[in-house]
Amino acid sequence: MTTYWCEHALLPDGPADAVALRIDDDRITGVTPGQPRQGTVLTGLVTPGFANAHSHAFHRALRGRTHSGGGTFFTWRERMYAVAQRLDPVSYYRLARLVYTEMVLAGFTSVGEFHYLHHGPGGVSYSDPNALSHALVAAAGDAGIRLTLLDTCYLASGVDGTAPEGVQQRYSDGDADAWAERLAEFRSGSPLVRVGAAIHSVRAVPAGQLPVPVEWARAHGVPLHAHVSEQTGENDECLAVHGRTPTGLLADAGAVTQDFVGVHVTHPSETDIGLLGTAGAGVCLCPTTERDLGDGIGPGRRLADAGVSLSVGTDSHAVVDPFEEMRGVEMHERLAARARGLFSPAELLAAGTRHAHLGWSDVGAIAPGAQADLVRIATDTPRTAGSEPLGVPLSAFASDVRDVMVAGRWLVRDGRHKHAANPATELAAEIKELLR
Ligand SMILES: [Zn+2]
């Protein structure tokens, strides 16, 4: 049992001062505000660990390298595919370990890896058909972050079911039954790893095969994620081929339940918003990626008002910073709505700590019985100085994170990751080698 004393802490009912925390093994067992200093002192603001509900680890290699020449989501995708073509289990492990380390340093204590690069060049399976999944598990283990491996079904290159082309062959298991068979063989062997299912998008899984991942997720009681309506073109193609929106098509296949998380949902119809809200489904917004790719501004407020729970993700890792994502949810809609305060700070914090979208229902609160995932934010930096405690998540940046605990174990102390002495140097070297 360890006792900590927090100068300020964000508790479920709001900010509190002089909070004594008791932690037994990996769980919080006592939370008492207004206590005299005792145990290990944590100055600044202590918050729950943040949840990164949508990640493609290898996209990190493109940061700061795609801003010349303009283009669209699809021209960016060509660059991304070129990176995917080069990865193997060893290089993917080395890159992902550093990407996950960056996430932990930023205050993320869980990540949902939307994993679709399954096979070797030409779509040939490795001797271990889950070799790339195991590379991600090893990377997360070394970085110390909770991993929900969202094993992604990807079978086609268009809404009409056209066969995968080029590097997309590495994503495909051939058909949905083969996807489920490969996934059935996967074992992580770690209490900090869970499995979820994902449908890449209605572009990548033919309508007739959607029920397989839907049923797999239901049978195993795990979350089901899918990219939904990130581009208006996806809506147009889906309507032309199926006479349904992507959300409508997924709902017809039984996907849209309270265990469903739509990723982006930037361009839903009013009917789509109603379907998602009535089901109590989730939506993961990725504001820094959506702005980087020029996707548009999603209707986060209308989704939340309809009954959708929101989370955030760093997706392409153009930015890895939970505060930027939480702020982005509010600030982007301010620009569209020309009004302030669409989301309360408490709502933004709830979105930033929604580990339940990744199957971790007991993570994300400083409360007795919760898993001990904590982040200490310095409140004496040029960025955070003078902010009230509830405003700190709206003024802080990842560089203001000083300490990070996952499952009762400190991984970051005073801004340094315990298992990575020079992550920036190593990351630069890995990206240089990968793109060589
Ligand atoms: Zn994505």
Following DSSP, what letter does each residue of 393-416 receive, concatenated? HHH--GGGEEEEEETTEEEEETTE
Read off the tokens for 298. 């999603």
pLDDT at 168 over 90: yes
By the 8 A CB rule, do 183 and 211 touch?
no
User: What's the whole-number mean pLDDT along residues 90-111?
Assistant: 98
Cα 70 to ligand 1 centre (Å): 20
What does each C-alpha distance from 420 to 30, 113, 411 come to in angstroms?
Answer: 31, 21, 10
SS3 assignment, position 108 = strand
- Of 10-14, 61-65, 147-151, 268-272, least confident by mean pLDDT is 61-65
Cα 38 to ligand 1 centre (Å): 44
Instruction: Single out the catalytic residue among 115, 200, 264, 332.
Output: 264
pLDDT at 5 over 90: yes
Cα 17 to ligand 1 centre (Å): 38
Read off the tokens for 189. 């062997």
pLDDT at 341 over 90: yes
By the 8 A CB rule, do 76 and 61 touch?
no
Which among 287, 275, 217, 214 has a CA at the least distance from the CA of 245? 275
* 177 — pLDDT class (breaks 50, 70, 90): very high
Quick check: is 175 catalytic?
no
User: What's the whole-number mean pLDDT along residues 110-119?
Assistant: 98
pLDDT at 189 over 90: no
pLDDT at 66 over 90: no
pLDDT at 280 over 90: yes
Cα 315 to ligand 1 centre (Å): 5
Q: What is the pLDDT of residue 163?
A: 96
pLDDT in tens, 367-422: 999 999 999 999 999 999 999 999 999 999 999 999 999 999 999 999 999 999 99
pLDDT in tens, 13-29: 999 999 999 999 999 99
Mean pLDDT of the chain: 97
Quick check: is 315 catalytic?
yes
Ordered domains of the chain (ranges, CATH): 2-48+364-417 (2.30.40.10), 50-358 (3.20.20.140)
Which residues neighbour 152 within 8 Å (Cβ) at sequence distance 6 or greater? 114, 115, 116, 171, 198, 199, 200
Amino acid letter, 73: F
Q: How many CB atoms lie within 10 A of CB 422?
A: 10
Cα 16 to ligand 1 centre (Å): 36
Cα 424 to ligand 1 centre (Å): 24
Instruction: Single out the catalytic residue among 173, 315, 373, 400.
Output: 315
pLDDT at 203 over 90: yes
Cα 11 to ligand 1 centre (Å): 31
pLDDT at 144 over 90: yes
